[in-house]
């Protein structure tokens, strides 16, 4: 019989720490707000997820870890008093976050170049919305352009599926 150590539940530990800090805030031992605790914890757990994703070569962990970290950063900055991040930046930030998450997925295995297509599309759309929000471009021109050319996304997704390497049914290894 082997002695197996049960790994610590980081999520459970995070809940205990957040709960304890919030309880101390309710008891007026600390002056904390929920958002000043929650978003940094999300960022910390997400960056651990990214690290584990790269060490285990698991693209899903890399994508969702990057996604969680950047959203945590966005909402932490929104809740901080020293930086003003207006809520209207949510849509451009979402596209940029998705683009960066796909790019990080590409960095895990650079042979999988097809991850650059959604990264580029999401990054370009996010940049266009950001430029429209900053009034360098007209919001309506950006919206009309995206309304006209959104089928390009379908074409790009089709290209991804056409060129994606499929595993061999016998060996499970990617077919070249």
The residue segments making up the domain with residue 157 are 88-165
pLDDT of residue 142: 78
Q: CB-based contacts of 14: which residues, under 8 Å, 6+ apart?
A: 41, 44, 45
Cross-strand bridge partners of residue 128: none
Q: CB-based contacts of 122: which residues, under 8 Å, 6+ apart?
A: 95, 96, 98, 99, 102
pLDDT of residue 168: 52
Identify whether 66 is part of a domain.
yes
Identify whether 175 is part of a domain.
no
Cross-strand bridge partners of residue 174: 167
pLDDT of residue 115: 84
| 161 and 92 assigned to the same domain | yes
pLDDT of residue 121: 87
Compute the C-alpha angle 56/66/15, nearest 5°.
90
| 49 and 112 assigned to the same domain | no
Supply 136's token pair.
Answer: 């360098």
Tell me the average confidence (pLDDT) per consecutive run of 10 residues in the chain, 176 residues long.
Answer: 63 77 77 73 86 87 91 85 77 90 89 84 88 81 79 78 64 54
pLDDT of residue 157: 74
| 16 and 80 assigned to the same domain | yes
Residue 46's CB is within 10 A of a number of other CB atoms, namely 21
Please give the backbone phi and psi of residue 174, each rounded to the nearest 5 degrees, phi first.
Answer: -60, 140
pTM across the whole model = 0.67
Identify whether 3 is part of a domain.
no
Answer with the one of 85, 104, 121 that is the final residue of a domain: 85
């Amino acid at each position: 019989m082997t002695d197996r150590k049960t790994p610590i539940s980081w999520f459970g530990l995070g809940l205990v720490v957040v709960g304890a800090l919030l309880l101390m805030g309710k008891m007026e031992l600390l002056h904390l707000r929920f958002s000043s605790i929650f978003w940094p914890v999300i960022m910390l757990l997400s960056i651990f997820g990214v690290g584990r994703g790269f060490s285990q070569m698991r693209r899903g962990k890399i994508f969702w870890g990057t996604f969680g970290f950047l959203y945590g950063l966005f909402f932490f900055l929104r809740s901080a008093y020293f930086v003003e991040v207006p809520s209207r930046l949510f849509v451009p930030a979402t596209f940029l976050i998705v683009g960066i998450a796909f790019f990080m997925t590409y960095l895990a295995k650079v042979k999988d170049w097809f991850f650059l297509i959604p990264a580029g599309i999401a990054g370009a759309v996010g940049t266009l919305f950001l430029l429209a929000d900053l009034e360098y471009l007209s919001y309506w021109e950006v919206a009309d352009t995206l309304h006209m050319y959104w089928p390009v996304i379908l074409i790009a997704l089709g290209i991804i599926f056409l060129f994606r390497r499929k595993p061999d049914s016998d060996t499970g290894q990617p077919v070249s």
